[in-house]
Amino acid sequence: MDLETEQSDVVVDINKLSLIFETSDGPIHALSDIDLSIKSGEFVSLIGPSGCGKTTLLRVLADLEKHSSGGITVNGMSPDQARQQNAYGYVFQAPALYPWRTVKKNVVLPLEVLGYSKEQQNELASQYLDLVNLTGFENKYPWQLSGGMQQRVSIARALSVEPQLLYMDEPFGALDEITRDHLNEQLLGLWEKTGKTVVFVTHSIPEAVFLSTRIVVMSPRPGKIIDVIDSHLPLDRTLDIRESPEFLEIAHQVREGLKAGHSYDDD
């Protein structure tokens, strides 16, 4: 691909990154020798069993966790600088909405923190609530919404500051499969429309294959990358593609990768 030749397109660059947690039971190697570079517009999924460090890696990217050694840049800056410039939006495992704020007030929270004017707040809130199909729910409180709607609010909140980079940490992990399928389709459409770079953590193989342009397979103890699988499914895919041979072939590769990681673990 010609994208690969252009250095300026690299959004996230990770070089020999390691993270060691010091605990009372001795050091834990959460991440070990991670090498990964993500280009603009890519949809990269990190997949692996629990404890493989995929969430930790995302938190390091977001400067919510500090790495122990190695190099990492986000937009050419350190994660700390990138965070201070609000280079990314972060969607957590849970919606993490503030229960005392209405839907709209939750969406404008980052805008309030960054000092946007009231008009800009209103405009961006309605724009991104519309994008996640929640127009008309502005004045509802989080407890009045279903889990899937709450997570959509949190996606609108992450998008409202219009970051070029979106970090999503198992955003649909707590939802039922029907809702999850539906949201996967919506997210795919949203990614196509906005052209954002997405780093997506999941432990679901179909979800990773359906959404991603690249799938990073990780294994635990120590958390490391086992395999990186490219995916070239057509952009205008629907959920039906999950029965196509191409899809099944990629899913098979991911499963083989996960298996390899697991056999290592059993030694």
Partner 1 sequence: MMTTRAPSLLYKSNVLPVVTIVFAIIVSWYLGAIYLNSPQLIDRYQKRGVDWSFSQLAQDSWSMERAVLPAPHQIALELKKTILDKKITSKRSLVYHAGVTLSSTLLGFLLGTFIGVSLAVGIVYIITLDRSLMPWIIASQTIPILALAPMVVVVLGAMGITGLLPKSLISMYLCFFPITVGMVKGLRSPDPMHLDLMRTYHASKAQIFWKLRLPAAVPFLFASLKVAIALSIVGAIVAELPTGGQGGLGSRLLSGSYYGQTNLIWAALISAALLSATLVTTVGYFQKVACRRLRGGQVFSQ
Q: Which residues of this chain interact with partner 1, rule CB under 8 A? A: 62-64, 83-84, 86, 88-90, 92-94, 96, 98-100, 102, 109-110, 112-114, 140-141, 143-144, 161
Rounded least distance, CB 214 to partner 1, Å? 24
Least separation, in Å, of the C-beta of 101 and partner 1?
8
Distance CA 197, CA 167 (A): 9
CB atoms within 10 A of CB 122: 15
Within 10 A of 224 (CB to CB), how many other CB atoms are there?
20
Shortest distance in whole angstroms from residue 195 CB to partner 1: 21
Other Cβ atoms within 10 Å of 101 Cβ, number: 14
If the CB atoms of residues 64 and 175 are measured against partner 1, the closer one turns out to be 64
- Quick one: 136 or 189, whose CB is closer to partner 1? 136
Pairing of strands 197-202, 165-169: parallel
Of the pair 142, 257, the CB lying nearest partner 1 is at 142
Nearer to partner 1, 134 or 209 (CB): 134
Amino acid code (one letter) for 158 = A
* Spatial contact of 231 and 42, defined as CB atoms under 8 Å apart: no
On the CB side of 144, CA atoms within 13 Å amount to 11
Rounded least distance, CB 74 to partner 1, Å:
12
79: its two tokens: 């994660």
* Closest C-alpha to 160, from 200, 111, 195, 92: 111
CB 127 within 8 A of CB 49: no
In the complex, the smallest distance separating the C-beta of residue 160 from partner 1, rounded to whole angstroms, is 11
Separation between Cα atoms, residue 96 and residue 205, nearest integer Å: 25
Judged by CB, which is closer to partner 1: 104, or 224? 104
Task: Quote the longest CA-to-CA distance of the chain.
Answer: 60
CB closer to partner 1, 110 vs 223: 110
The least distance separating partner 1 from the CB of residue 212, rounded to whole angstroms, comes to 23
